[in-house]
């Protein structure tokens, strides 16, 4: 599905091992790191709904759990408010309240443009490995991840809604999240 013309996209520079056709690491700026760190603060009900509504599917039984909870009559719950709030991912934290409203209304709104978390300081570059480990970018770190520099190439990619959802889904399924498209 193509993104809308006003969709915000994040730039990411992938360092790829040409021979293995595998991402070694990504060179990322603050905005991408903020995005992946924000995934840790999402309630599971938000994650479930976002992935289900955007047809990315769910791993394991989380999608079935969400659907069964959603389909239960409100009379099954101690209060209707409990069901509504749980489906929205509302908790005592205002962060979760803000995230859920932004991620779930409407689902076509860009995941990356509706919520702009601020975890990292600007002006720095970060190394993000395939399993989403984040470190400050340094030559010593690069040398610890690269055996043969001649086999590397860089590839610039744009991360929009669909790619953001793919990263979210992959982070729940595998340790190899960054892939070459």
Domain assignment present for 30: yes
Domain assignment present for 101: yes
Average pLDDT of the chain, as a whole number:
75
Positive/negative CA dihedral, 57, 62, 66, 69: positive
Band (pLDDT 50/70/90 cuts) for residue 91 is: very low
Count of domains forming the chain: 1
Average pLDDT over residues 105-111: 40
Q: State pTM to two decimals.
A: 0.71
Domain assignment present for 143: yes
Domain encompassing residue 56:
10-173
Domain assignment present for 1: no
Domain assignment present for 180: no
66 is written with which tokens? 């969400």
> Per-residue pLDDT tens for 25-73?
999 988 888 888 777 777 777 777 777 766 656 666 667 777 777 887 8
Domain assignment present for 146: yes
- The three-state secondary structure class of 132 is coil
């Amino acid at each position: 599905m193509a993104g809308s013309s006003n969709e915000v996209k994040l730039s990411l520079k992938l360092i790829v091992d040409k021979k293995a056709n595998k991402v070694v690491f990504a060179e990322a700026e603050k905005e991408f790191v903020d995005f992946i760190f924000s995934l840790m603060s999402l309630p599971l009900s938000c994650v479930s709904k976002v992935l289900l509504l955007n047809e990315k599917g769910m791993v394991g039984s989380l999608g079935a759990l969400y659907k069964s909870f959603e389909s239960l009559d409100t009379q099954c719950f101690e209060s209707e408010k409990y069901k509504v709030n749980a489906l929205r991912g509302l908790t005592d934290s205002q962060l979760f309240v803000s995230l859920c409203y932004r991620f779930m209304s409407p689902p076509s709104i860009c995941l990356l443009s509706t919520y702009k978390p601020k975890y990292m300081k600007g002006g720095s570059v970060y190394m993000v490995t395939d399993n989403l480990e984040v470190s400050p970018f340094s030559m010593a770190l690069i040398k610890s991840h690269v055996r043969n520099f001649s086999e590397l190439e860089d590839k610039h990619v744009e991360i929009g809604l669909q790619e953001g959802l793919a990263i979210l889904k992959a982070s729940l399924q595998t340790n190899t999240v960054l892939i070459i498209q």
